[in-house]
Amino acid sequence: MGLIQPFKPKLKKKDFLALKDFTTAEILDVLNLARELKKQGKAGQPLLKGKVLAMIFEKSSTRTRVSFEAGMIQLGGQAINLSTRDIQMGRGETVADTAKVLSSYVDGIMIRTYKQSVVEELAANSTVPVINGLTDDFHPCQVLADLLTILEVKGSFHGKKLTYIGDGNNMTHSLMMGAAKVGMNCTVVTPESYKPQERFFKAAQEEGKLTGSVIEWTSDPVKGVAGSDVIYTDVWASMGQEEEAEERIKAFADYQVNSDLEAHAKKDYTFMHCLPAHRGEEVTAEILDGPHSVVFHEAENRLHAQKALLTLLMGD
């Protein structure tokens, strides 16, 4: 395999905190490099040789932890896993002090936490790139993988309709903005009391005006799914909402992705889920494990999208 020679675009901002901060061109640069790195596989060149990524986990993870660590290893670097039980940030040291100390040891920081303000404070005080692995507001790394998957499966974003059905959570916020950035239409389907935050919805709509995409909301699952190219869902109770699980199951009872609902989508629609999934709740096993599902293809693409992001942020 030859070295990618040379991939010139560098992300203008040193941090990856939210999709809103990046231009369409920058997002497409990540996706294009991800496709190249995916072709090369494990035999690719050590583009991050000698680089170290610190990974802070206030929220536990499977896909985020393994994809970032494996990605760094495949790129010739290393990753250090840090839970808040392992570092002083979990014992009262300020986020700012943690950022300054880690910046002197490593070449990048990825954090998966609750408050977006923690990620922003970390970035403000760090001299190395900071990546948002997930917060209660956003899940931008997941959406990079989602966009890569849609591009591979559908061939383009133009004229495609993505329908997200379920809770108006961090996935919703990032999916709306991601769709708007690449010019894809996005319909959000939630109960009235579980709508995405209005400020994020309006921001995505404004971005959509620039790219020609329509970002809309409805409480009607059938109306929302009608004519969809992609149906996307997520768990009804996210991490930290376990006490609300029973209440949420009742609230979302009519929002399950099942054979009755999928009948209103295009015949060649694609089903996506960020995982982990609860079969029998937000989606039936028939759909999740069925012929339209690309959830494991999508999960694999976390690795490739993040390798591209790491290379563009941390590479020389």
Judge residue 259's burial from the number of C-beta atoms within 10 Å of its C-beta, 0-12 exposed, 13-18 middle, 19 or more buried.
Answer: exposed
156 — pLDDT class (breaks 50, 70, 90) = very high
Q: How far apart are CA 1 and CA 40, in angstroms?
A: 7
- The answer to the question of whether 64 is labelled as a binding residue is yes
| Domain total of the chain | 2
Residues 133 and 147 in one domain: no
Residues 45 and 181 in one domain: no
- The answer to the question of whether 238 is labelled as a binding residue is yes
pLDDT given for residue 15 in this prediction: 96
Say which range, 31-35, 95-99, 240-244, has the weakest mean pLDDT. Answer: 240-244
68 — pLDDT class (breaks 50, 70, 90) = very high
Residues 6+ apart with CB under 8 A from 276: 62, 235
Residue 237 predicted with pLDDT over 60? yes
Within a domain: 7: no
- The answer to the question of whether 234 is labelled as a binding residue is yes
11 — pLDDT class (breaks 50, 70, 90) = low
Cβ(18)–Cβ(138) below 8 Å:
yes
- The answer to the question of whether 60 is labelled as a binding residue is no
* Residue 42 per-residue DSSP state: G
Residues 103 and 211 in one domain: no
- The answer to the question of whether 275 is labelled as a binding residue is yes
Residue numbers of the domain that contains 220? 140-298
How much is the pTM? 0.94
Residues 147 and 244 in one domain: yes
Cβ(114)–Cβ(137) below 8 Å:
no
Within a domain: 63: yes
Q: What percent of the chain has pLDDT over 90?
A: 87
pLDDT given for residue 9 in this prediction: 58
Residues 185 and 86 in one domain: no
Residues 107 and 255 in one domain: no
Within a domain: 190: yes
Residues 265 and 123 in one domain: no
| Angle at alpha carbon of residue 268, lines to 236 and 154, rounded to 5° | 85
Residues 6+ apart with CB under 8 A from 222: 261, 264
* Structure-token match 């300020």, residue found: 94
Residues 53 and 196 in one domain: no
Active centre residues (catalytic): 112, 139, 142, 234, 274, 302
Arithmetic mean of pLDDT over the chain: 94
CATH code, domain with 42: 3.40.50.1370
Q: How far apart are CA 134 and CA 146, in angstroms?
A: 15
